[in-house]
């Protein structure tokens, strides 16, 4: 193929417009076409006024784009446009299906570059003002998810062995995780921090312990991330909430 454009896999960060990287924002301003996730906020898309926008988002429990269709769209767009951005929530290299997209682009001989973004785990820890590591308490962190594509469903999900656990797309899956941890000997009072709509205006932070998480979670109206571990225990000098979001 000749006359191919270049594709940039860009991390949008956790949600807030001003948490995308400077490089990512610059590419959005220059892009001819932007293929974006469903969870990318409208104000983030305002950063790419000259681009054609294509919604390729996946929505849990709703009609969503198939990954093979997204791959084909990327290849087709690169044959028509000079600068193509695939805008992904968080960081492209973590739970972002980047492997499939990279393979499709490489097989088509299309140049690709990756621009990292702030992954939600780190933004959630910042929002709660709760480090994921703590000297003498927690020196290992595991990021994991129990949500998989139907063809890769695991009937017996495994919970990682780390001092601090961060479960992406938590929700109901986090309840099952809590029950497995309790059955495996984790203490009932192990601290848990749940962050919904991280970094957005409607952000909500909930604190509980592992026993309470095992009993259930309130209905969430946005993406949920669940952090579990002793590093998340409130400091003696810390209030239960977090600093309000700044304009």
Entry pTM? 0.88
> 6, 32, 58, 93: which is the annotated catalytic residue?
58
CATH of segment(s) 6-115: 3.40.1010.10
Radius of gyration of the chain, Cα coordinates, nearest whole angstrom: 19
Is residue 209 part of the annotated active site? The answer reads no
Beta strands in 59-179 (DSSP E): 83-88, 111-115, 141-145, 164-168
Contacts of 196 (CB under 8 A, 6+ apart): 202, 203, 204, 205, 206, 220, 221, 222, 223, 224
Q: Which of 44, 88, 91, 169 is catalytic?
A: 169
List, in order, residues 6 or more apart from 47 with CB less than 8 Å away. 17, 20, 25, 28, 29
pLDDT digits (tens, 9 = 90+) for 157-166: 779 999 999 9
Domain with CATH 3.40.1010.10 in the chain: 6-115
Q: Are the C-beta atoms of 1 and 105 separated by less than 8 Å?
A: no
Output phi, psi for 45, to 5 deg.
-70, -20
Is 44 annotated in the active site?
Answer: no
Catalytic option among 37, 44, 88, 91: 37
Task: Mark 13-45 as b/e (b = at least 16 C-beta within 10 Å).
Answer: bbbbbebbbeebbebbeebbbbbbbebbbeebb
Q: Say if CB 31 and CB 86 are below 8 A apart.
A: no
Report the pLDDT value the prediction gives residue 171, as an integer from 0 to 100.
Answer: 86
At residue 162, φ and ψ (nearest 5 deg) are -150, 160
Q: For residues 128 and 49, is the Cβ–Cβ distance under 8 A? A: no
Any idea which architecture 120-232 has in CATH? 2-Layer Sandwich (3.30)
227 is annotated as an active-site residue: no
Q: What is the mean pLDDT of each run of 10 residues along the chain (247 residues)?
A: 84 97 98 95 95 83 75 97 97 96 97 98 98 97 80 67 96 93 97 97 96 92 94 90 44
DSSP classification of residue 148: -
Nearest C-alpha neighbor of 166 from the set 61, 14, 59, 36: 14
- Cβ proximity of 139 and 133 under 8 Å: yes
pLDDT computed for residue 194 by the predictor: 97
CATH 3.30.950.10 domain span(s) along the chain: 120-232
């Amino acid at each position: 193929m000749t006359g191919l454009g270049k594709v940039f896999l860009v991390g949008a960060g956790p949600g807030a417009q001003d948490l995308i990287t400077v490089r990512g924002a610059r590419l959005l301003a220059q892009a001819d076409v932007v293929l974006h996730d469903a969870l990318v906020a409208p104000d983030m898309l305002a950063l790419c006024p000259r681009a054609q926008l294509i919604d390729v988002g996946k929505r849990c429990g709703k009609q969503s784009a198939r990954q093979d269709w997204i791959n084909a769209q990327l290849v087709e767009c690169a044959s028509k446009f000079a600068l193509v951005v695939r805008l992904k929530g968080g960081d492209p290299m973590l739970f972002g299906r980047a492997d499939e997209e990279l393979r499709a682009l490489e097989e088509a001989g299309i140049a690709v570059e990756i621009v990292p973004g702030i992954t939600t785990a780190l933004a959630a820890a910042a929002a709660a003002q709760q480090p994921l590591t703590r000297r003498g308490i927690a020196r290992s962190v595991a990021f994991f998810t129990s949500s998989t594509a139907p063809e890769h469903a695991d009937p017996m999900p495994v919970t990682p062995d780390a001092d601090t656990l961060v479960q992406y797309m938590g929700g109901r899956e986090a309840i099952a995780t809590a029950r497995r941890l309790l059955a495996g000997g984790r203490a009932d009072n192990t601290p848990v921090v749940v962050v919904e709509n991280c970094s957005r205006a409607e952000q909500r932070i909930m604190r509980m312990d592992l026993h309470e998480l095992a009993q259930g979670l309130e209905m969430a109206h946005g993406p949920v991330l669940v952090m579990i571990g002793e590093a998340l225990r409130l400091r003696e000098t810390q209030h239960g909430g977090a600093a309000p979001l700044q304009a």
